[in-house]
Amino acid sequence: MNADVTVFDHPLITHKISLMRDENTSSKQFRELVEEIAMLMAYEVFRDLPLKTVKIRTPVAEADVKVLSCKDVAVVPILRAGLGMTSGILHLFPTAKVGHVGLYRDHETLQPHEYYCKLPEDIQNRQVIVVDPMLATGGSAVAAVNFLKARNCKDIKFMCLIAAPEGIRALSSAHPDVPLYCASLDERLNEHGYIVPGLGDAGDRIFGTK
Ligand code: PRP
Ligand code: URA
């Protein structure tokens, strides 16, 4: 089991997650919150990025300044709901490439089914962050990381908004090398595989499909 699980406790993130949970929150507000929280989380997730020193001239003097010296980033949203988090991360990494993994969860079996996978050609050389608001049984996250490892990706992180203990166990045991970040660790799954208390169906709430 991977011990590398971070549950964020920043009050701004916690507050925004609470707003998302409210069933009266509109799709517009919900989408904005997903984007904002993803940006706030990514800020922390990438706090250890390496820096290197370069020489520049300010208008006043020559100076040694520090700039990022990390591998390029690829953001990989799990469709559909992961799309909502992507723009938040792109605000921080405007040059990141974006790969898409399309998975939907069968309502009866809860098993993930692939319908799309398009990744940047150089994905194996990139630092990859897989994003999906919900980690429920963990089946979709495990399948997405399987695709990335099949493409030789070595440096993968997983970021979600709400996780169930079941999903954390599944992802951590299938991929113990993948650090996992979530904004809330909820109680459990219900008999339909929904996170309790959760926020309902993230894709439907982002895109207003129900
Ligand atoms: C939701 C969610 C995750 C998945 C989590 O997607 O966005 O991808 O379920 O469940 P799991 O951990 O049990 O696999 P869904 O399959 O509903 O598709 P959607 O994003 O198209 O709505
Ligand atoms: N997918 C969702 O969108 N919500 C859940 O609670 C579980 C899976």
Q: What is the mean pLDDT of the chain?
A: 96
10 CA to centre of ligand 2 in angstroms: 23
Q: What is the pLDDT of residues 69-111, one digit of tens each?
A: 988 999 999 999 999 999 999 999 999 999 999 999 898 999 9
Q: Is the Cβ atom of 77 under 6 angstroms away from ligand 1?
A: no
What is the separation, in whole angstroms, between the first and last Cα of the chain? 36
Q: Which two tokens stand for residue 31?
A: 């989408």
What residue's CA is closest to ligand 2, atom 4? 201
Give residue 200 CA to ligand 2 midpoint distance, Å: 6
Sign of the C-alpha dihedral computed for residues 209, 198, 32 and 93 taken in this order:
negative
Check: CB of residue 97 under 8 Å from CB of residue 120: yes
Q: Give pTM, 2 decimals.
A: 0.95
Gyration radius of the chain's alpha carbons: 18
CA of 115 to the centre of ligand 1 (A): 13
| Residue 166: HSE in the Cβ half-sphere, 13 Å Cα cutoff | 16
Domain carrying residue 17:
5-207
Which ligand 1 atom minimizes the distance to the CA of 81? 20
pLDDT number for residue 113: 94
Q: For residue 108, what are its two tokens?
A: 């009866």
Please name which of 1, 7, 24 lies closest in space to residue 135, comparing C-alpha atoms: 7
| CB neighbourhood size of 15 (10 A) | 11
Does residue 136 have its Cβ closer than 6 Å to ligand 2? yes
pLDDT in tens, 114-158: 999 999 999 999 999 999 999 999 999 999 999 999 999 999 999
Asked if residue 2 has pLDDT above 60, the reply is no
Q: Within 10 A of 148 (CB to CB), how many other CB atoms are there?
A: 25
Spatial separation of the C-alpha atoms in residues 28 and 207, rounded to whole Å: 9
Task: With residue 52 as reference, give the H or E element that holds it.
Answer: strand 51-57
The DSSP code for 154 is -
CATH number of the domain where residue 22 is located: 3.40.50.2020
pLDDT in tens, 25-79: 999 999 999 999 999 999 999 998 999 999 999 999 999 999 999 889 999 999 9
Does 194 sit in the ligand 2 pocket, CB within 6 Å? Answer: yes
Cβ 207 under 6 angstroms from ligand 2? no
Q: Is 140 in the pocket of ligand 1 (CB under 6 A)?
A: yes
Strand pairing class (73-79; 97-98): parallel
pLDDT at 70: 80
Strands 134-135 and 112-118: unpaired
Domains contained in the chain, number:
1
